[in-house]
Structure 1
Amino acid sequence: MFEQLLKILKDHDNFIILRHIEPDCDALGSQLGLKTLLNDNFPTKKVLVGGKLPTELSFVGEMDQLQEEDFNDAVVLITDTATIERIDLENEKWLTAAKLVVKIDHHLNLDQYGDVMIVDASYPATCELITDFITTTNLKLSPATAHLLFLGLVTDTERFLYRSVSERTFAMAYHLTKTKFNLSAAYDEIYAINPNLARLKGYILTNFTLTPEGLAYIKITKELLAQFEAQNPHQIALWVNILGDIKGVKIWMMFVECKDYIRIEFRSRYFAVNKIASKFNGGGHQVAAGAKVYDWTNVDIVIQEATTLLK
């Protein structure tokens, strides 16, 4: 698997790196980490990155303004994106002009898009997969690349909390930190928030619902987001693990009202929440998944589904 990816990187000169819409740090870290990796090891190659960059994650770097002609004769690397419809690209048809499309991902490979698939669901983060690729192939790992990959590794494992974390995960974290990138700065970038968002976290911890079955959830409306001056609902949805630290909780969910739909984030200790997500326009890992519905009535149906799973 890694030998095939290395050969692709060596044999081609024109790359575009994409990732999923509504990106998290694993998507951005793997995308931009792969770019800096290519720049460090193959400085003569052309590397572009694309997609919308949320303001609160702008610290990771910058995106290029891609045009249709950029895809002519390019190898397109798509990181951390389970399904083709979630690729953050202005026009999916642009991919047809690419010389090669390579999927690099750690989700279950249910949508087998692309010409080459570097996919392994045993990795809790795509950034871990890419780090393993680097160490296995002895490519140069710079502090800048390590910084980006660590952002994805630490967030997608929820600071090494999930059951999918293994000895390999800690070994990869060791390889990254060995480069001496600024670890404290990385944590500040990820976790430091302004006072109004801190108050929103306080609201969540004060107003969540906890059922006798061990289900915890919170509903965040547009009005509530406005009250706390939270400009990006997708950022708030990724706070779902606030509820995971509560004793006795087995499944926890966050419902956040976005512009056109209600985003749902599912997490659990052991239960297969991706089975619920798949019924509501979503999917993901067994213990970490996402979905969306279009009204609060359907939110109540999701809550009932989760309650049933716990019984």
Structure 2
Amino acid sequence: MKVILAQPRGFCAGVVRAIDIVERALATCDAPVYVRHEIVHNRHVVDGLKARGARFVEELDEIPGDAVAIFSAHGVSRAVESEAADRKLRVIDATCPLVTKVHNQGQRYASLGRTVLFIGHAGHPEVEGTLGRITGTVHLVESREDVLGLPIPDDTPVAYITQTTLSVDDTRQTIEAIQKRFSDVIGPETRDICYATQNRQTAVRNLCRHIDVLLVVGSANSSNSNRLREIGEELGIPSYLVADGRQVDPAWLVGKETIGITAGASAPDVLVDDVVGALAKLGPVEIQALQGVEEKITFRLPRELLEAS
């Protein structure tokens, strides 16, 4: 069979930075190092860091006083920051800089006296963190219907911001609904939306023109990985989310000649290799990489880690 790899796929700069932060903290700080929530949404990555000594917790009260506490790439609320300061935890913030940018945009809009409409998925860690960082009136909207149901006058000055794991395509209809309903609307330029999310979705749309079935490598709780699978389905391609090669079902491939593979922004290349290896066990495989955007963006590490290393 022919296997075509999407480009770009896998780790984005924010995920690389977050993992690097934990690894450097393990190398330079007194053990143990605690991480609030999964550093990124990938079990393989989390288990690898656990094996090296990282301890993952859900809440700060599980961390002993004066210990090193790392905030995940998804960001945290001001309340979590304050609790960490009160307990004198040694905090290292691994929040993705693009998530921080959304926080700052939302607060700037609120400071202008606008009602902030946050386009995102309820319950996602990034959404919970962002909602807890904006001082002012904020409404979470997930769809056009949510916009129409907002209990505020149509002449209310509003501003919108978006969850970083949503692309321009994901948010277009909701933004159009906001602009159609409200007479005074501002929001970020489309180029401010996470480059990695948009690039991976564009790559999948291109990939689906050439394949018979799509395999998305990523964890079940990864928002951007699930969206990649949904895009494949929307384009009429049988699409499956797999954590690794063990989850590949040979029945999916019966009668299929060309298999497309991509990976969510929190899935490492080693898992893509594992899926390719699983396919190779079923028969000869010809691998081709699709041309696409080459990402060269990197994010600076926190100063305290740079100084320590």
Instruction: Provide the TM-score with structure 2 as the length reference.
Output: 0.31
Instruction: Provide the TM-score with structure 1 as the length reference.
Output: 0.31
The structure showing larger relative contact order (alpha-carbon pairs under 8 Å, at least 6 residues apart) is 2
